[in-house]
């Protein structure tokens, strides 16, 4: 049986990817030969502070946007626990959907040990395309600020600059792993959570999803940030096949994984990092070499 | 002359030797290439103050020594033109410079001027055979150049399109630099203005691709060696070569099988035969073909974004190719015409001629192209016979479109008057006025011949006819039902089901253009480009009035052609009037595709390319284009810190140029209406703003939204890092010149972000570069002192504050600093903050 298995986890947050190995695999001319026993080699120094992993997002083969995840701090908390702080940003150019404006997202996700700590992000729609040096806040339409705290079991949604705040309790999520479906870097935590991912088998996985995967299309106008409605989804992850793919001209060997019921397909490297995804509705993304 | 003025002059004359002797003995020269102009400015600043302003001011001389002319007059003219264009752009780096340009031969003859010129800051360019000075300039360096290639350290690069640029201390003069641009072949220097010299001490180009760059160890200026950190971007490593009859095919064995390459080579050998007939000069010399599986791979090796690019100096064609794909003939024809008919300044005509052997481009004949262009009234622009200077490089595709009409016109001439007549016209047009030659040979004027030809053109580009609506029969209810269900499935992205339903609708009613266009869109999003093209063309042939159909058909056709690498065809479809007059969605989509056309969808690759081109535009003083390119990067990714810094540099450069220009204007024409040197100050402000943004983004504490809102979303508390200090990557501030300002702007950004350590580091870097202007030096020292107070280094801070006070010539500033020192003395608290 071919298994995806974790070799060593000294610090959980070091297990978030193997991005350096991934980047090397993508840029290399020669395809990496797969061993019969596939292992997710969790490299202790996989993420260094300042490392950034970026994806190009496409919609119907047009560049829709870009997302980036960057490790900005590794800290020791007062109680002795360790924390990894990641900054993330997404920019979607809605002209690729035949619309106008830009959807921008920036946030911070913290991982404390095995668990996700507070997840905090801002998301807003810019009504005009393009970049301006002196941009004012009023250009954002429906800017929202979201704070999820899985440890405290609460979340709050607010609008910067106003007093409007909505607070509520998160659904019970003892085993759930936080995954923002639009942030590909979060999936690495999911694949790191098990010691093996047998090829051809379907395994259950509980996910804490802050908002459903947005549906983009030419006839579906994007009017603002994504709706926030945290749920704990019981998903099944199937490692369907071993499959070589081409990422921007480079041949890479991957495992194709299907996430049901979201309909997402992820191509994951033997090191556990997401190389490509496809939502089956026109949205796809690839790791930038 | 009045006695007091005479006395001043005499006194000045007596003091002059002492003043010169009192100058600092040796300025520290340490590169990189961009420090060349800083050194020119430093030398100017060290001239006698009285001669630094006013109409009689001293300018700073720089000499450019280029290769002596050879035997090919046309090539020499072209080289000299390119060199002078390059030099005219370079001399704008410092408005008070005088750029003397002489060939080596002329310099040698003029020993009086030559001996002086060689002691100045020098630019030496050419090949070893055309400029013997190169030999002297490479001595004591790790470089050597010969006719076959260029050696850097122990690594040798072979090729005829290599250009090496490096900076070194002038071995013939003190305190001056030599900027060397050496090529193994003269043809390589024809792309001089396409080379971005960048932030390193040396850089090696193949075409416009940077093969290697790095720094030199300047500890012994007489024997420079390579420093660590060489950046090598090897091109075509591990590639194999297959030689067929005259064509050498280069490929990577992991991408193409030998069998595929062999059949490709055989096809090219047949092409060679056809070209031999076309050129009519007997034995035709072969060429090199480089095959790439994708645009991304090609860009990695060549830095050229077009699916096909021609390296004239290296006699090579670089193509994105997939087995079975048709290959355009014009690049090979261009090489042959270039070689056999010689180098010419009628480049446009040369390119137009290169279309003749194949008679088509991207699957359409030249006459079809001309018909389409004429139908849109764009032919006149496209057929211009005026030679263009830039027919290659980053805007190659657009220029090919410009000469398409010309190619079609020449084809028409070749058919009606014979190919020999066209050849004769071309040969004679090189030496005389081409319009007159045309009249002599063809017996009529160009204008008349073009008008006659244009009248005979037909546009069969599937124009949507304005047929009366009543002539289209209403679809049956069965077809309507199928269409409704098909469209619904299409919108839900149930593509297989939608395709079935729409195909059945077409079976029942073959005139269903709407169904065809939806099928085209389904095929396109399913990566089936050929099918998408067929369906879109069928939809257009149905000649419906529905603007939805026309716009989406053109947009889908354009997108499919673009993904196949047919950039010209894609551009033609996406700019079709039916798209512009159609619904919003396909119009916006078409505009967006036009903006990203010719670039890889890979954002990182596109950003790298745009950034490199923006650097080049900045070097060419084309600020607007440079800014547009950077804004494109930032539009896709506002978190790109490097792009923010680049934008800052573009605006700063523009500001500084006009500021210097206004200053000089006021000095030269004191009686006229003065120009306000600060009228472009808004550029300096936005430059500072961009630089701050770059620094904040680099710090990792801020994201673009945070900067817009003015606060960090979730600042990382200052707890102890597990692995010591943060190692956030900060690129070199010195990229591309203007180092003082770059470091200063960065320091301001870090100052704002309260990152005292990095602010101090940037300020220290400015002091290490050496600053001739005392007020600026004082300001830097003052800021550094503030940072050092914040870093609890009161002794250092005091030292720098005292030095600043003694350096500044601004009395108010000096008083302020002395005041601060007094306050500091009066307080015991060493952590006092001066802000």
Selecting from A76, A122, A249 the residue whose C-beta is nearest the C-beta of B293 gives: A249
Q: Quote the radius of gyration of chain A (alpha carbons, Å).
A: 19
Strand segments, DSSP code E, in B666-706 are: none
Residue pair B728/B702 in contact by the 8 Å Cβ criterion: no
Q: Scanning every residue of chain B, which has its alpha carbon at the shortest distance from the alpha carbon of A101?
A: B635
pLDDT tens sequence across B52-69: 777 777 788 899 999 988
Selecting from B587, B713, B719 the residue whose C-beta is nearest the C-beta of A76 gives: B719
Q: Scanning every residue of chain A, which has its alpha carbon at the shortest distance from the alpha carbon of B487?
A: A219
Residue pair B703/A87 in contact by the 8 Å Cβ criterion: yes
Quick one: pLDDT at residue B772?
54
- Among residues B242, B208, B324, B292, which one has the least CA distance to residue A29? B292
CA-CA distances (angstroms) from residue B210 to A92, B85, B187, B205, B292? Answer: 31, 21, 17, 5, 18
Residue pair B667/B57 in contact by the 8 Å Cβ criterion: yes
3-class SS of residue B768: helix
3-class SS of residue A70: strand
Residue pair B463/B375 in contact by the 8 Å Cβ criterion: yes
Contacts of B46 (CB under 8 A, 6+ apart): B23, B24, B772
Residue pair B721/A92 in contact by the 8 Å Cβ criterion: no
**Whole-angstrom distance, CA of residue B593 vs CA of residue A96:** 8
pLDDT tens sequence across B701-756: 788 888 888 777 766 554 344 443 333 333 333 333 455 666 777 777 677 666 78
Contact call for B726 and A50, based on CB within 8 A:
yes
- Among residues A60, A219, A276, which one has the least CA distance to residue B523? A60
Mean pLDDT, chain B, rounded, equals: 81
Selecting from A65, A66, A72 the residue whose C-beta is nearest the C-beta of B716 gives: A72
CA-CA distances (angstroms) from residue A158 to A101, A178, B15, B169, B659? Answer: 22, 20, 73, 61, 47
CB pairs under 8 A between A and B: 184
3-42 in chain A: CB under 8 A from chain B:
29-31
**Whole-angstrom distance, CA of residue B362 vs CA of residue B397:** 12
**Whole-angstrom distance, CA of residue A179 vs CA of residue A150:** 12
CA-CA distances (angstroms) from residue B590 to A216, A278, B339, B352, B632? Answer: 18, 23, 39, 28, 16
Contacts of B162 (CB under 8 A, 6+ apart): B149, B150, B183, B184, B185, B188, B204, B205, B206, B211
CA-CA distances (angstroms) from residue A218 to A97, A200, A281, B476, B491? Answer: 5, 35, 11, 28, 9
Contact call for A74 and B721, based on CB within 8 A:
yes
Contacts of B805 (CB under 8 A, 6+ apart): B778, B814, B817, B818, B821
**Whole-angstrom distance, CA of residue B167 vs CA of residue B144:** 14
CB atoms within 10 A of CB B819: 11
Pairing of strands B121-126, B177-183: parallel
Interface test with B, best of A13, A95, A102, A283 (most B CBs within 10 A): A95
Quick one: pLDDT at residue B471?
52
- What number is the average pLDDT over the span B190-209? 87
- Among residues B320, B323, B318, B317, which one has the least CA distance to residue B260? B323
Quick one: pLDDT at residue B579?
93
Contact call for A120 and B713, based on CB within 8 A:
yes
**Whole-angstrom distance, CA of residue B465 vs CA of residue B501:** 27
**Cis previous bond, B358, omega within 30:** no
Quick one: pLDDT at residue A103?
94
Selecting from B238, B297, B638 the residue whose C-beta is nearest the C-beta of A91 gives: B638
CB atoms within 10 A of CB B300: 21
Please give the residue that has the higher pLDDT: either B253 or B733. B253
Contact call for A219 and B585, based on CB within 8 A:
yes
Quick one: pLDDT at residue B14?
42
Quick one: pLDDT at residue B118?
86
Would you call A278 an interface residue with chain B, using a CB distance cutoff of 8 Å?
no
Contact call for B238 and A77, based on CB within 8 A:
no
Q: What is the enclosing helix (H) or strand (E) of B508? A: helix B495-508
Quick one: pLDDT at residue B284?
61
Contact call for A219 and B709, based on CB within 8 A:
no
Q: Given 3-state DSSP classes, what are the helix, strand and coil percentages for chain A, each rounded to the nearest 5?
A: 10, 50, 40
List chain A pLDDT tens, one digit each, 289 residues: 233 333 333 333 333 333 333 333 334 344 444 444 445 554 445 777 888 899 999 999 999 999 999 988 888 888 778 888 899 999 999 999 999 999 999 999 998 876 788 899 999 999 888 888 887 767 788 889 999 988 888 999 998 877 788 999 988 777 788 999 999 989 988 888 877 788 888 889 999 999 988 899 999 999 999 999 999 999 999 988 888 998 887 888 888 999 988 889 999 988 778 999 999 999 999 999 8
209-228 in chain B: CB under 8 A from chain A:
none
CB atoms within 10 A of CB A228: 18
Residue pair A100/A218 in contact by the 8 Å Cβ criterion: no
Minimum mean pLDDT range among A27-36, B287-296, B489-498, B688-697: A27-36
Distance, in angstroms, between A39 CA and closest chain B CA? 25
pTM of the predicted structure, to 2 decimals: 0.81
Write phi, then psi, for B680 (nearest 5 degrees).
-105, 25
pLDDT tens sequence across A261-277: 888 999 998 877 899 99
**Whole-angstrom distance, CA of residue A269 vs CA of residue A273:** 5
Q: Scanning every residue of chain B, which has its alpha carbon at the shortest distance from the alpha carbon of A143?
A: B705
| Direct distance between the N- and C-terminal alpha carbons of chain A, in angstroms, rounded to an integer | 30
User: Sign of the C-alpha dihedral, residues B481, B483, B489, B492?
Assistant: negative
pLDDT tens sequence across B281-324: 666 678 899 999 988 888 888 888 888 888 877 889 999 998 88
Chain B contact set for A65 (CB, 8 A): 636
**Whole-angstrom distance, CA of residue B709 vs CA of residue B702:** 10
**Whole-angstrom distance, CA of residue B524 vs CA of residue A61:** 9
């Amino acid at each position: 049986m071919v298994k995806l298995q974790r070799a060593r986890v000294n610090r959980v947050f070091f297990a978030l990817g193997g991005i350096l190995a991934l980047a090397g695999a993508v840029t290399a001319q020669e395809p990496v030969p797969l061993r019969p026993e596939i292992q997710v080699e969790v490299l202790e120094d996989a993420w260094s502070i300042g490392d950034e992993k970026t994806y190009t997002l496409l919609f119907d083969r047009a560049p829709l946007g870009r997302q980036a995840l960057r490790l900005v701090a590794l800290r020791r908390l007062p109680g002795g626990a360790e924390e990894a702080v990641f900054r993330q940003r997404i920019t979607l150019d809605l002209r690729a959907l035949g619309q106008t404006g830009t959807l921008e997202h920036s946030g911070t996700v913290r991982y404390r040990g095995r668990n996700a700590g507070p997840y905090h992000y801002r998301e807003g729609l810019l009504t005009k395309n393009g970049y301006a040096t002196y941009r004012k806040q009023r250009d954002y339409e429906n800017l929202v600020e979201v704070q999820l705290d899985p440890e405290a079991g609460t979340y709050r949604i607010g609008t910067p600059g106003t007093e409007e705040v909505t607070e509520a309790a998160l659904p019970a999520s003892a085993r759930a792993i936080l995954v923002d479906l639009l942030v590909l870097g979060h999936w690495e935590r999911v694949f790191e959570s098990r010691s093996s991912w047998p090829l051809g088998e379907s395994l259950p996985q509980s996910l804490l999803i802050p908002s459903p995967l947005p549906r983009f299309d030419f006839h579906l106008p994007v009017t603002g940030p994504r709706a926030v409605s945290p749920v704990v989804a019981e998903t099944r992850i199937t490692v369907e096949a071993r499959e070589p793919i081409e990422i921007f001209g480079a041949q890479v060997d991957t495992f194709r994984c299907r996430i049901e019921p979201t309909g997402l397909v992820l191509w994951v490297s033997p090191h556990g990092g997401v190389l490509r995804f496809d939502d089956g509705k026109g949205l796809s993304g690839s790791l930038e070499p | 002359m009045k006695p007091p003025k005479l006395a001043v002059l005499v006194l000045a004359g007596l003091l002059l030797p002492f003043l010169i002797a009192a100058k600092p003995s040796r300025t520290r020269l340490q590169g990189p290439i961009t420090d060349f102009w800083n050194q020119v400015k430093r030398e100017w600043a060290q001239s006698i103050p009285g001669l630094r302003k006013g109409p009689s001011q001293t300018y700073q001389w720089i000499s450019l020594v280029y290769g002596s002319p050879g035997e090919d007059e046309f090539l020499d003219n072209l080289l000299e033109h390119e060199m002078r264009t390059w030099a005219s752009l370079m001399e704008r780096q410092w408005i008070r410079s005088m750029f003397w340009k002489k060939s080596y031969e002329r310099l040698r003859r003029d020993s009086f001027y030559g001996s002086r010129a060689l002691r100045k800051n020098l630019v030496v360019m050419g090949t070893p055979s055309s400029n013997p000075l190169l030999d002297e300039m490479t001595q004591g360096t790790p470089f050597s150049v010969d006719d076959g290639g260029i050696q850097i350290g122990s690594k040798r690069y072979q090729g005829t399109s290599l250009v090496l640029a490096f900076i070194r201390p002038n071995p013939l003069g003190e305190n001056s630099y030599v900027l060397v641009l050496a090529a193994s072949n003269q043809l390589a220097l024809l792309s001089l203005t396409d080379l971005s010299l960048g932030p390193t001490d040396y850089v090696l180009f193949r075409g416009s691709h940077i093969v290697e760059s790095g720094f030199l160890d300047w500890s012994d200026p007489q024997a420079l060696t390579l420093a660590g950190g060489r950046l090598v971007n090897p091109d075509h490593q591990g590639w194999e070569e297959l030689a067929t009859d005259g064509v050498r095919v280069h490929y990577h064995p992991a991408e193409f099988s030998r069998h595929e390459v062999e059949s490709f080579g055989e096809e090219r050998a047949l092409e060679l035969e056809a070209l031999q007939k076309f050129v009519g000069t007997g034995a035709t010399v072969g060429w090199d073909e480089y095959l790439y599986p994708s645009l991304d791979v090609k860009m990695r090796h060549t830095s050229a974004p077009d699916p096909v690019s021609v390296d004239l100096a290296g006699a090579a064609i670089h193509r994105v190719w997939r087995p079975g794909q048709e290959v355009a003939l014009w690049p090979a024809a261009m090489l042959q015409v270039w070689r056999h008919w010689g180098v010419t300044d009628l480049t446009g005509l040369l390119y137009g001629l290169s279309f003749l052997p194949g008679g088509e481009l991207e699957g359409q004949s030249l006459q079809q192209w001309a018909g389409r262009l004429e139908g849109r009234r764009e032919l006149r622009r496209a057929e211009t016979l005026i030679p263009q200077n830039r027919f290659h490089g980053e805007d190659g595709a657009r220029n090919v479109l410009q000469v398409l009409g010309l190619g079609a016109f020449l084809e028409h001439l070749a058919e009606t008057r014979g190919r020999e007549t066209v050849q004769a016209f071309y040969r004679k047009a090189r030496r005389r006025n081409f319009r007159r030659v045309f009249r002599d040979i063809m017996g009529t004027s160009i204008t008349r011949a073009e008008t006659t030809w244009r009248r005979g053109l037909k546009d069969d580009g599937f124009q949507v006819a304005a047929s009366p609506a009543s002539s289209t029969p209403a679809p049956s209810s069965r077809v309507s039902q199928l269409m409704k269900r098909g469209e619904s499935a299409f919108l839900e992205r149930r593509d297989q089901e939608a395709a079935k339903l729409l195909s059945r609708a077409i079976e029942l009613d073959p005139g269903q253009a709407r169904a065809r266009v939806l099928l085209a869109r389904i095929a396109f999003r399913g990566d089936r480009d050929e099918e998408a093209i067929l369906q879109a063309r069928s939809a257009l042939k149905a000649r419906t009035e529905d603007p939805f159909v026309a716009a989406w058909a053109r947009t889908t056709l354009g997108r499919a052609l673009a993904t196949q690498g047919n950039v010209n065809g894609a551009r033609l479809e996406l700019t079709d009037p039916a798209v512009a007059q159609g619904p919003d969605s396909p119009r916006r989509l078409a505009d967006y595709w036009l903006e990203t056309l010719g670039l890889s969808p890979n954002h990182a690759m596109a950003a790298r390319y745009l950034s490199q081109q923006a650097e080049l535009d900045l070097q060419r003083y084309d600020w607007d284009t440079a800014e547009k390119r950077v804004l494109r990067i930032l539009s896709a990714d506002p978190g790109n810190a490097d792009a923010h810094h680049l934008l800052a540099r573009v605006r700063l450069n523009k500001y500084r140029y006009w500021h210097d220009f206004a200053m000089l204007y006021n000095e030269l024409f004191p009686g006229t209406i003065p120009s306000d040197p600060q009228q472009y100050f808004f550029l300096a402000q936005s430059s500072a703003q961009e630089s701050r943004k770059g620094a904040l983004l680099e710090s990792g504490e801020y994201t673009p939204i945070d900067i817009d809102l003015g606060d960090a979303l979730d600042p990382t508390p200052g707890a102890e890092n597990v692995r010591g200090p943060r190692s956030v990557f900060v690129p070199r501030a010195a990229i591309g010149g203007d180092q003082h300002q770059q470091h200063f702007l960065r320091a301001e950004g870090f100052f704002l972000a309260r990152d005292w350590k990095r602010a101090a580091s940037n300020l220290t870097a400015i002091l290490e570069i050496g600053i001739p202007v005392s007020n600026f030096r004082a300001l830097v020292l003052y800021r550094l002192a503030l940072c050092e107070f914040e870093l609890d280094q009161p002794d250092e801070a005091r030292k720098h504050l005292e030095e600043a006070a003694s350096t500044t010539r601004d009395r108010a500033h000096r008083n302020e600093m002395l005041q601060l020192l007094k306050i500091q003395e009066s307080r015991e608290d060493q952590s006092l903050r001066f802000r």
